Amino acid sequence: MFNAEQITKDCVKWIQDFFEENGKGANAIVGISGGKDSSVVAALCVEALGKDRVIGVLMPCGKQHDIDMAQLLVNHLGIKNYEINIKDAVDGLKSALPFEISEQTTINIPPRVRMTTLYAVAQSHNGRVANTCNLSEDWVGYATRYGDGAGDFSPLAQLTVTEVKEIGRVLGLPDVLVDKTPIDGLCGKTDEENLGFTYATLDRYIRDGVIDDEKTKESIDTKHKNNLFKLQLMPSFKPSI
């Protein structure tokens, strides 16, 4: 049985311990999208460190239709924040590439520019970058390696979407943020449209091993197997010395 209140307390303590060991007095740098994951991570960091040690970074690429949700979060938490539009950086990189870029390249450049932006903020503000991925996304590789998959500490990596929402409610976040339909902010589709199944179905399979549709099971298993490399350290040659 998932005890959201206890897990929230444990996670807050874990964040405090991380900063005690990896940056006494350092700030938590959180990329703010306005979705549940960044909202919950930012709120957990505020609980753990206090609002004066949490910095939110809003990173629209041009015009972001739901940036009001990101602004709602930073205002709700009362944290310092920066809005840094990454469009010029993204367009500049794409125009500098001397070849026709693939669709996947186009999709993955923005999250990798956002990662660079977060570390730029962190290194100028004595910060540690929070990873905001959850277990459900990671399970099927729904993250960009060295993009939104990067970070210095990851509060939600072992928690499913369903569990993250419960923690959001414990933290008293506005329902509009906790229940906001997750979108990737890149291709205009929802997460579930891109994946081909719901997070509820995925979470049930992850936690209980139960799934009703064999084709959906096969799809999840294939994505999981093909994307495991994203969660592993880079392979390195070990010489026989």
Dig out the tokens for 224 from the structure.
């999981």
59-80 per-residue burial string, b: 16 or more CB within 10 A, e: under 16: bbbeebebbebbbbbbebbebe
Tens of pLDDT, residue by residue over 67-125, are 999 999 999 999 999 999 999 999 999 999 999 999 999 999 999 999 999 999 999 99
Phi, psi for 149 (deg, rounded to 5): -80, -5
Domain regions of the chain by residue span: 4-231
What pLDDT was estimated at residue 191?
86
**Average pLDDT rounded to a whole number, residues 200-223:** 97
Minimum mean pLDDT range among 25-39, 55-69, 176-190? 176-190
**Dihedral over Cα of 151, 155, 160, 163: its sign:** negative
- Whether residue 152 has pLDDT greater than 90: yes
**Average pLDDT rounded to a whole number, residues 155-169:** 98
CATH number of 4-231: 3.40.50.620
Q: How much of the chain is in helix, strand and coil states, percent to nearest 5?
A: 55, 10, 35
Tens of pLDDT, residue by residue over 33-47, are 999 999 999 999 999
- Whether residue 53 has pLDDT greater than 70: yes
Sorted by sequence, the CB contacts under 8 Å of residue 6 that are 6+ apart come out as none
**Dihedral over Cα of 148, 149, 153, 157: its sign:** positive
What distance in Å separates the CA atoms of residue 154 and residue 75, rounded to the nearest whole number? 23
E runs forming strands in the chain? 27-32, 54-58, 80-83, 127-129
What pLDDT was estimated at residue 186?
56
111-144 per-residue burial string, b: 16 or more CB within 10 A, e: under 16: bbbbbebbbebbeeeebbbbbbbbbbbbbbbbbb
Minimum mean pLDDT range among 28-32, 159-163, 178-182, 206-210? 178-182
- Whether residue 183 has pLDDT greater than 80: no
Query: Tokens 């709120």, residue?
Result: 43
**Average pLDDT rounded to a whole number, residues 233-238:** 94
- Whether residue 187 has pLDDT greater than 60: no
Percent of the chain scoring above 70 in pLDDT: 98
> What is the CA 183 to chain-centroid distance, rounded?
12
Nearest to 168 by CA among 44, 67, 18: 44
What pLDDT was estimated at residue 181?
85
Tens of pLDDT, residue by residue over 136-150, are 999 999 999 999 999
Please provide the average confidence, as pLDDT, over all residues in the chain.
Answer: 96
Q: Residue 189: which pLDDT band, with cuts at 50, 70 and 90? A: confident
- Whether residue 185 has pLDDT greater than 70: no
